[in-house]
Amino acid sequence: MFSITPPLLGRDHLFIILHKTPKFFSTCTRQNYQSSSFAVRSSSSLKEIEKPIDRELSSNLYASGPFPAIIAAKRVVLVRHGQSTWNEEGRIQGSSDFSVLTQKGESQAETSRQMLIDDAFDVCFSSPLTRSKRTAEIIWGTRKEQIITESDLREIDLYSFQGLLKHEGKAKFGAAYRQWQIDAANFNIDGHYPVRELWDRARSCWNKILTHECRSVLVVAHNAVNQALVATAIGLGTEYFRILLQSNCGVSVLDFTPQLEGGSPYICLNRLNQTPNPPVAGSSAGRKTSQRIILVCHGSLQTDSEASIPCTGDRPMNMLGVIQSQKTAELLLDLKLSTIVSSPKMASIETANAILRVQEAADCLGADCVPRYVEIKQMQNLGVENILQQSKKDSTVPYIQSTWLNGYEDGAMKAIWDLSGQAWKSLLEELSSVSEAENIVVAVGHPVVHIGLIGHCLNLKKEWMGSFHLDAGSISVIDFPDGPAGKGVIRCINYTAHLGRWSIPITRSALDDEEF
């Protein structure tokens, strides 16, 4: 049986300062991060579990509410509609049908159409609301199959809130509007709990989508309902509302893989909120944020192949990896980074240095009027390659399948989970150690350690690690609108659009090289 003990590193050994002036590092345990845990609620029922919890969610949530069994792999691509007239006005839409796409919204939909133009979807499900139907029509283009409208895909029902400008809702409803902002899961209006009803509808949608005779599905709907679809698919409850961001025309991908023994399929979030515009700009769920962690996966390694265990060992990047790291550095040029924290492995250091060089040349590149000085560090807990290399892996689960992490034995997953937990605490401390108005920390490492970091951000257990997938060269962005002690809002996961022709296609087959 594989077993490994994480290195016992003191707080002052977690980082090796490589560049610029070292910053004071707090040694406090920051218990406030642990106390901001989510409350447990069932993802498949309107019934609440009224009891306090610790840092980790109950494993019962993960196993609750099985989905229909499938006989072949299925990929579902979710797209939110383009900007609408009421989006532009700041008006609460809900499930009303009085807004239409703006010119910008039509352009966003066209960009999404170009992004998905070569993908052979079997079917398209759309919300019946005009703004969503029009987006679906643009993306669907000249495909012959008829778009299926599904009432349960309509936006969240907000009853008396609908049609109000946000300041009008605040003035008219006071405490109720405040609860909608800070505790949406328990928000009640006109005798209804909108978010709980939405989660119930999302489960109903999945039953219809998974039982449809198709393998590649396009779903065009709305912000809240797409959040609910993602959350219910991977077993998250209503407390995750507004945690998994869905921007206008943002694309999210979920892979469903049948289990050999039948029953509910394996479900993996392949990517979240890949947007027509770069994910590093704009607000977080309508709230301004100046605190952010960006997770950068290093580029492809020499001798990497789809059939092998990806990115293991301590090897330099190949030419594709060098291009990927440079593309990532260019994407981050418009941001003034505070700190770059890297795994001690060669590929991560190479990627971190590429980002640093571009940041320091910001004035020459026209992105800033003065040179930027960015601190770069190494964090031992971001290095998990040796664990993966030593672990026995089920060879029947190829890397190109989103659920490939499920092939690793439990001892390896626990070791990675523990290391990533230590790394997550250190990154939060790093984020809170800078007193500047804007603080952006970039962490560079292996895709698997970043999956662990995302899991810890969402307050999950190690069993959830197989529910996420990251590609080499991708970025994931986590915002903290309430500061590092508050909940992290996931702006995107596995974003690769910045890689251009070297990116992984959004609807690439989830199993072997078989075309959908």
Catalytic residue among 155, 350, 375, 385: 155
> How far is C-alpha 506 from the geometric centre of its chain's CA atoms?
14
One of 19, 48, 56, 81 is an active-site residue; which one? 81
Q: Estimate the share of the chain in helix, then strand, then coil, as percent rounded to the nearest 5.
A: 35, 20, 45
Contact yes or no for 189/243 (Cβ under 8 A): no
Q: Which of 76, 144, 128, 79 is nearest to 105 (CA)?
A: 79
Tokens found for residue 513: 């090289």
Contacts of 88 (CB under 8 A, 6+ apart): 102, 104
For 147, the token pair is 């778009």
Mention every residue, 6+ apart, whose C-beta is less than 8 A from residue 225. Answer: 127, 153, 154, 155, 156, 198, 201, 202, 205
- Is residue 19 part of the annotated active site? The answer reads no
Nearest to 460 by CA among 428, 492, 403, 420: 420
3-class SS string, 17-83: EEECCCCCCCCCCCHHHHHCCCCCECCCCCCECCCCCCCCCCHHHHHCCCCCCCCCCEEEEEEECCC
Q: Which pair of structure tokens corresponds to residue 264? A: 């509910």
Question: How many alpha carbons lie under 13 Å from residue 4 in its C-beta half-sphere?
Answer: 23
Catalytic residue ranges: 81, 155
